[in-house]
A and B are shown apart, each in its own frame.
Chain A
Amino acid sequence: MKTSLPLKILNVIGLIIMVAIFAMPFIWMISTSLKTLGETMVFPPKWIPDELIWENFISAWNSGPFLQYFMNSVLVSVGILIFQFITVIPAAYAFARYEFRFKNVLFSLVMVTMMIPAQLIFLPVFLNLSDWGLLDTLWGLILPFATSAFGIFMLRQTFKQVPEELLEAARLDNSTDFKIMMKIMVPMAKPTLITLGLFNFITHWNDYFWPLVMTTTESARTLPVGIAQLRQVDGGVAWNILMAGNVILVIPILIIFFFAQRHIIRAFTYTGVK
């Protein structure tokens, strides 16, 4: 069956409209971030500013301790990543390759925590962190996510697929279990680890809820919380400055997405596709 030309054109127009619905908001964000305040308040709106006001980015950056927010964001996202690799790899290895008495009970515990969202437990965790003096510190933002149930689940599946003969051979060479894990399992699971790393980095880089709730001063706040506070600067809303701040937050992620689209899509759709 051949599709007729008008139908083909209609199809392409449909696709363009679809892309517009999802891409226009971002273009509008960038366009606003380069306008003067006056230009944001015209109707019908202008798409291309008369003059590009790059100073908006400087104003946004200088309206709070953004270097600190940025550093905090990096430390929290990278810190979580490191801790998760340390805790997730051995746990996934044990669940995939060992038989032990409480294996099923402990694995059920992992599955249960996978279903507990931060939005359910933030109040008691807040009270605990406050008792332990960890409120308003980067540790309070890192430690609760020092492991990942989803990560253990996903990596366990990968480890299970490593052929037993490889491990046998290594055992004959007198390799210790730890060595087998690091020298055979981890390299074999590299694609899964990259997927997991991207997923976690993006999730925690973007996270607003947890750092909002667990911090009370600027010292431990992250970029999303800082950006959200731009609004409270003065009475009216300076949309140009606000959008400039958001461009700073969004652009790094969009660039990563552009280069690693396949990995990122795999990371975010993993549970659904399996």
Chain B
Amino acid sequence: MRSAKWRPYFFVAPAIIVFLVFFIQPIFYMIYLSFHDWNFISPDKTFVGLGNFKDLLSDPMFLEVIRNTLMYTFFTVLFSISLALLMSIWLNKQGWMYSFVQGAVFSPHIISLVSIAMLWMWIMDADYGLLNWVLSLVGLEKVPWLTDPNTALSSLIIIAVWKNIGYFTLIIIAGLQSIPKHLYEAAALDRTPPWRRFAKITFPMLSPSLFFLTIIGILDSIKVFETISIITKGGPLNSTNTLVYYIYENGFIFFKIGYASAAGVILLVILSILTLLYFKVLSKRVHYQ
């Protein structure tokens, strides 16, 4: 038992080393780079203080990127959660039919975003796409989904909601199933009408699941990259350019490393606030009564 004291450290060391090298050091390195001007090729990094942040915040394009990111995140999360809530109440039943539908609805969640992006690019094709065909069946005009600056961001939101909804639905179903039955039995004795039962029992009891999904949904949407990189490249007219794509573009296409890092630091701040909020509420437990 001589070395027993060191044993736990020995066990956690490989994992901790990977975290430090690939997650923690890069965060500090990024913060360091955000105060410098560097084009990746030149040997010198010039210190510019807060210069990159000033440039970012006075760049109308960056402000548009932030606006796009927030719009995308807000509407993706809002629609994913509200539709999933309706679907979960519908699908929360026993039987092969319901478990089959649950599986089908969930399937997009495990498909590569590459395929989802390309498939939807084809479905939303203005001339020969499936979606415009469906619209034509009900007598509507063709919509230039992804090629018009007015509809491109909304189209990306539709794709994201389609992908998210199955996952969200299953999480809410799990939440519904954990609500104690006796609450409903009591409500039935009191002849509580269904909508009141929903407002007074179901919704409050679901609040931990809904809160979890809100945070997960925001964290997931705010880092959107794949659909933008494959479908729109931020266009048309910058209308779908979002934060992570903007960092990628500035870092890897324009080689503005310091500038891209400063945008990365802004993402870091947003993620940190969300994470703190998450753990804070989690430690208090979302209200259950």
Q: Which residues of A contact B (CB under 8 A)?
A: 12, 14-15, 18-19, 21-26, 28-29, 32, 40-45, 86-88, 90-91, 93-95, 98, 100, 102-103, 106, 109-113, 115-117, 119-128, 143-144, 146-147, 149, 152, 177, 202, 205-209, 212-213, 224-225, 227-228, 231, 239, 242-243, 246, 249-250, 253-254, 257, 261, 264-265, 268-269, 271-273
**Cβ-based interface call for B65 (8 A):** no
Q: Is the CB of B104 within 8 A of A22?
A: yes
- Does A209 lie within 8 Å of B225, measured CB to CB? yes
Q: Could you tell me the distance between the alpha carbons of A23 and B29 in the complex, rounded to whole angstroms?
A: 44
- Distance (whole angstroms) from the CB of A243 to the closest CB of chain B: 7
Distance between Cα atoms of A149 and B12 in the complex (Å): 12
Q: B26–A146 contact, CB under 8 A?
A: no
Query: Are B119 and A246 in touch, CB under 8 angstroms?
Result: yes
Please classify the interface of chain A as helix (H, G, I), strand (E, B), loop, or mixed, using the class held by over half of its residues.
Answer: helix
B257 partner residues in chain A, CB cutoff 8 A: 123, 127
Chain A residue numbers with a CB within 8 Å of B26 are: 121, 124-125, 128
Q: Which B residues from 77 to 112 make CB contacts under 8 A with A?
A: 87, 90, 97-98, 100-101, 103-112
Known: A120-B268, A246-B115. A94 touches B12 (CB 8 A): yes
Is B271 within 8 A of A120, CB to CB?
yes
Please give me the residue from chain A that is nearest to B9 by CB atom: A100
Taking the nearest CB of chain B, how far is it from the CB of A256, in angstroms?
8
Instruction: Chain A residues near B113: list those with CB within 8 A.
Output: 206, 208
* B279 (CB) vs chain A CBs: closest residue: A111
The stretch of B52-60, B195-203, B209-217 that contacts the partner chain: B209-217
Q: What is the minimal beta-carbon distance from A19 to any residue of chain B, in angstroms?
A: 5
- State the CA gap A129–B72 with chains docked (Å): 32
> If the complex has contacts A18-B87, A22-B104, A269-B171, are A147 and B111 also in contact, measured as CB distance less than 8 A?
no
A241: shortest Cβ distance to chain B, in Å?
11
Nearest-neighbour CB distance to chain A for B56, whole angstroms, equals 15
**B260–A123 contact, CB under 8 A?**
yes
Name the distance in Å between B257's Cβ and chain A's nearest Cβ: 7
Asked whether A206 and B112 contact (CB < 8 A) given A25-B119, A103-B8, A272-B171, the answer is yes
Is A44 in contact with B133, judged by CB distance below 8 angstroms? yes
Q: Are B229 and A212 in contact (CB-based, < 8 A)?
A: yes
B103 nearest CB across to chain A (Å): 5
A116 to chain B: closest residue by CB:
B23
Q: Give the nearest-CB partner of A151 in chain B.
A: B15
Q: List residues of chain B with CB within 8 A of the CB of A265.
A: 103, 106, 170
Q: Give the shortest distance, in Å, between B9 (CB) and chain A (any CB).
A: 7
Whether, in the assembled complex, B127 has its beta carbon less than 8 Å from a beta carbon of chain A, the answer is yes
Which stretch from B143-151, B179-187, B243-251 is at the chain A interface? Answer: B243-251
Q: Does B237 sit at the interface, judged by CB under 8 A?
A: no
Contact A123-B247, Cβ < 8 Å, known A93-B11, A206-B112? yes
A-B pairs with beta carbons under 8 Å apart, 14 shown: A18-B105, A22-B108, A22-B166, A43-B133, A90-B11, A91-B16, A94-B7, A94-B8, A121-B22, A123-B261, A212-B229, A228-B117, A265-B170, A268-B110
Residues 1-49 of B contacting A (Cβ, < 8 Å): 5, 7-12, 14-16, 18-19, 21-27, 29-30, 33, 40
Partner of A18 from B19, B101, B119 at Cβ < 8 Å = B101
Q: Is the CB of B174 within 8 A of A120?
A: no
